[in-house]
Amino acid sequence: MHRIFLQIAFIFTLSVQLVCAGPIEECHEFAAYGIPSLSGDLLCRRGFLLAHDPAKKTPVWVAQHLTSHKVKGAAKRSNDFKPDADLEQGKRAELSDYKGSGYDRGHMAPAADMAWDEQAMSESFYLSNMVPQAGVGMNRGIWMELEKKVRRWAQQRGELYVYSGPIYEREPKTIGRNHVAVPRYLFKVVLDPQQKEAIAVIMPNEKLNTGDMPRFLVNVREVEKQTGLDFFSTLPAAEQEKIETVKVQQLWQ
């Protein structure tokens, strides 16, 4: 896929339409319920759509459409971590930025969600899809377990729209020569379009107890408040109000 800049025209009718020449047309699927923000450089990938922040060298948000079919894929994990060639040097993370940093290269669109397609799997390893993430107890702990739950929910519910991304302090810590920003928190918002309900979490980017996952449940409005993003913008205002203001009391089963 190729880089897509913000010269794209957006036409909002009953659903979001991304109007431009080129591969962004292949990403309508991920924008069915709106684009969380127009900031950053849009990158259309086989398995997700993201907005990349050239200052922080991380995604602003990553959007997926996860289905029961996709979570049954059998493609092997590629592990081909790489800088994103569709982004300019100096405005992207490099492998050297993470080396010796003490942080994992944390996927926002998980590799395991891409097992339905080898290209999608490979593209999930672009550093544009990653943030510096605490490893043990976070990327290799509670966050991984949350990703597993989301795949199980997709299998049970048929389809989900999933949005993931970082939340920063005013002056975030950075790693590497390219000053890749380290998030203070990470969020995930999951919409069930059939049941018209959503679940959201905000987790500190640190080692956590997986059993404490329910403690990090919030409503979607809280994620919007802390990020400045706008979810589900194609829905009528009344539906947005109903979905976004409810904080579920326990994780979906």
Which residue numbers are catalytic?
A: 107
Longest dimension (CA), the chain: 48
Residues 6+ apart with CB under 8 A from 238: none
Chain centroid to CA 153: how far?
17
Q: How many of the other CB atoms lie within 10 Å of CB of 35?
A: 23
Output 85-90 pairs: Cβ under 8 A, ≥24 positions apart. 86/1, 86/2, 86/3, 86/43, 86/128, 87/3, 87/41, 87/43, 87/52, 87/54, 87/128, 88/54, 90/178
Q: How many of the other CB atoms lie within 10 Å of CB of 25?
A: 12
